Chain A
Amino acid sequence: MNYEWRRAIARRKVLLLIIVTVLFEVAPFVVFTTLREPTIQNFIRAFSDIAWLIGVLAPQGLFIHLTALLIAAGATAEEYEQGTVDMLLTKPLTRIEYMTGKFLGGFTLAGFVSLLLALLGIFLARVTFGPQQFLEYAPLVWLSSLYTLLLFYSVGFMLGELYRRSGHALITGVSVLISSVVLTGILFFAFTLTQDKFYLSLTKVLPSWSTGNLPNMVATELFLKNRVISFLQFGPPIEGTIPEAAAYVLVYAVASIAITVARFLRSDIPRRTI
């Protein structure tokens, strides 16, 4: 695990994305404190006691998933690209142990980044808006956010192993993420035109629905009671349940991991690819 953290952190693009994510985390609080229009001030007043939630959920929209994709896409692929996988797999280590170490190492790093962002969000909310309510639920909301990270992390991990090229894996992973968001919009638009719920059910299958909505659903269930859900919601409002969203995350993650393991166990380890 230590190895995987050091390897990932040594990659400048990972560091860069973490910095961008932190900036994205700070940005809403800067905006809220600088805008003085009465409508915005009223809006802020409505949720200033639970502003920490913005800090916890804001990166959830895009950046934390990009970070997860970036870490995962390079986890195995870069070892092939650099030829370092040979050294690792000719030691007393089974392939399953190697894969498990890679997966958990990268995922804990992505989770750690997510935790730091959540803590930063809580800190900024406290500094900007004063004492915060319902902070006792923050760990659960963060855990649900961490759980959703599994989806794009696993997809990125799978793509890294399938392509064995980190760049290809990242581009495909990001395309999946963006296409999913775009498709959600298109399907929602189709629904508003036709009122056919089939379109809504399709959006739920897309990876962005479960990852974007599960933490909101958990927060709503715990304490929100629709106070700011519309503001924090990622994408158009599409009804769903927590078990439904959790199941979709699990299905994507399990399928991706299964494909990764099958590919890794059944194929040759290539010589250095770049």
Chain B
Amino acid sequence: MGEPVLEVDDLVKFYGDFKALDHVAFKLERGSIFGYLGQNGAGKTTTIRSILGLARPNGGRIRLFGIDPFKEPLRVFDHVGYSPELPTLQGFMTAYQLLDFTARQYGLTQQSRTTRIRELLELVGLLDHRDKKIGKYSKGMVQRLAIAQALVNDPDLVIMDEPTLGLDPAATVHFRDLFQNLIKDGKTLFISSHLLDEVQRLASHVAMIHRGHIVFQGSLNDVLSAFAGGSIIDIEVMNVSPTLVAALRNLPYVREVNVQGNRLAVHLTSDTDRRGELTTFLFQQGATILSFTHRNLRLEEAYLQVLRTGGVAPAS
């Protein structure tokens, strides 16, 4: 597969006494979309800022394209694009001026700047707003422009922190297609997000961070089969009792039962259809079923399961 685009090894970061990153390690292979998942404050942004040299790690090793970004930032950042979470851009500039300024930083010639800026503005749907001051842009427009500026240098690796935050549904779909096209062009994407459905649609690989620890990393299929293996049946019953929940949990084909009001999310250990058995069991327990839905696995469940188990896959 060749050298990883990004290699993070044993990364440690303290803020005062608080350990924000605790021996974080993962790799990004070329041509993949890597979803970096975690709750607020888990360490996602700190990881990104360490990779980009904005935060100085207290320990560990980072290699971008095999190069230490702290020692040779100029060589590294020629090949990296970055779009931060809730970006704030230079409000006194127009979109065109900002992209031109960015393109100059990468040493693009006047002619290639003009062509590239037009392409990018068209790509993110801001061509008609090119001469408007960024300070007058909406949040979604700023997000679009931040993604455009991350692509100015045609980077091999694009790091995006919550890239679809603030985008309307149409723009979200548009950018999802854009990200997939970037992969077709041989780029590698690192996407940090808490929008798990979005990551599930895009990512080929994921890493999950919790309280500064990486609790899981692997392919999307791996995480789904290991932590959300099987399927889920959502059941709405008239009266949920602790006895009922305990009885369900004791069933050999049930991995976990989550209770929310009178709704039960029953995680099954395999893909085998257990609807018939479950319905019979519930009737035997005297439960009145209001609704009963079988659904496919979602990253969200896998993520919650990973957090619950600390990354140890439950036995099937």
State the A residues within 8 Å of B (CB). 3, 6-7, 10, 82-84, 86-87, 89-94, 266-269, 271-272
Q: Is the interface of A mostly helix, strand, loop or mixed?
A: loop
Q: Are A268 and B92 neighbours in the complex by a CB distance under 8 Å?
A: no
The distance in angstroms between the C-alpha atoms of A87 and B93, with both chains bound, is: 14
Q: Are B101 and A3 neighbours in the complex by a CB distance under 8 Å?
A: yes
The distance in angstroms between the C-alpha atoms of A92 and B78, with both chains bound, is: 6
Contact residues in A for B101 (Cβ distance below 8 Å): 3
Q: Are A86 and B106 neighbours in the complex by a CB distance under 8 Å?
A: no
Given A7-B92, A83-B88, A94-B73: A89 and B54 interface contact (C-beta under 8 Å): yes
The distance in angstroms between the C-alpha atoms of A89 and B49, with both chains bound, is: 11
What count of chain B residues pass the 8 Å CB interface test? 28
Q: Are B78 and A84 neighbours in the complex by a CB distance under 8 Å?
A: no
Contact residues in B for A86 (Cβ distance below 8 Å): 52, 54, 82, 84
Q: Are B80 and A90 neighbours in the complex by a CB distance under 8 Å?
A: yes
Q: Which of A7, A268, A272 touches B90 (beta carbons < 8 Å)? A: A7
Contact residues in A for B73 (Cβ distance below 8 Å): 92-94
The distance in angstroms between the C-alpha atoms of A93 and B80, with both chains bound, is: 13
Given A3-B101, A272-B88: A90 and B93 interface contact (C-beta under 8 Å): no
Contact residues in A for B93 (Cβ distance below 8 Å): 6
Q: Which of B55, B56, B82 touches A90 (beta carbons < 8 Å)? A: B82
Contact residues in B for A271 (Cβ distance below 8 Å): 45, 49
Most chain A beta carbons < 10 A, residue from B45, B93, B146: B93
Interface flags for B43-69 (1: CB within 8 Å of A; 0: not) read: 001000100111110000000000000
Contact residues in B for A3 (Cβ distance below 8 Å): 101
Contact residues in B for A89 (Cβ distance below 8 Å): 52-54
B253: Cβ under 8 A from any A Cβ: no
Contact residues in B for A94 (Cβ distance below 8 Å): 73-74
Q: Are B102 and A268 neighbours in the complex by a CB distance under 8 Å?
A: no
Q: Are B77 and A87 neighbours in the complex by a CB distance under 8 Å?
A: no
Contact residues in B for A82 (Cβ distance below 8 Å): 88, 91
Q: Are B54 and A87 neighbours in the complex by a CB distance under 8 Å?
A: no
Q: Which of A10, A90, A91, A266 touches B92 (beta carbons < 8 Å)? A: A10
Q: Are B55 and A93 neighbours in the complex by a CB distance under 8 Å?
A: no
B105: Cβ under 8 A from any A Cβ: yes
A85 to B, closest residue via Cβ: B54
Q: Are A268 and B106 neighbours in the complex by a CB distance under 8 Å?
A: no
Q: Which of A7, A10, A83, A91 touches B77 (beta carbons < 8 Å)? A: A91
Q: Are B55 and A269 neighbours in the complex by a CB distance under 8 Å?
A: yes
The distance in angstroms between the C-alpha atoms of A84 and B86, with both chains bound, is: 11
Q: Are B89 and A84 neighbours in the complex by a CB distance under 8 Å?
A: yes
Contact residues in B for A90 (Cβ distance below 8 Å): 52-54, 77, 80, 82
Q: Are A6 and B49 neighbours in the complex by a CB distance under 8 Å?
A: no
Q: Would you give 27 A-B contacts (Cβ < 8 Å), ordered by A?
A: A3-B101, A6-B93, A10-B92, A82-B91, A83-B87, A86-B52, A86-B54, A86-B82, A87-B82, A87-B84, A87-B146, A89-B52, A90-B77, A90-B82, A91-B77, A91-B105, A92-B73, A92-B106, A92-B107, A93-B73, A93-B105, A94-B73, A266-B56, A267-B56, A268-B49, A268-B55, A268-B56
Identify 15 new A-B residue pairs, CB closer than 8 A, beyond the known A3-B101, A92-B107: A7-B92, A10-B91, A83-B87, A86-B52, A87-B82, A87-B87, A87-B89, A87-B102, A89-B54, A90-B52, A92-B77, A93-B77, A93-B105, A268-B49, A272-B88
Interchain nearest-CB distance for B98 vs A (Å)? 9
Given A91-B102, A92-B106, A269-B49: A84 and B55 interface contact (C-beta under 8 Å): no
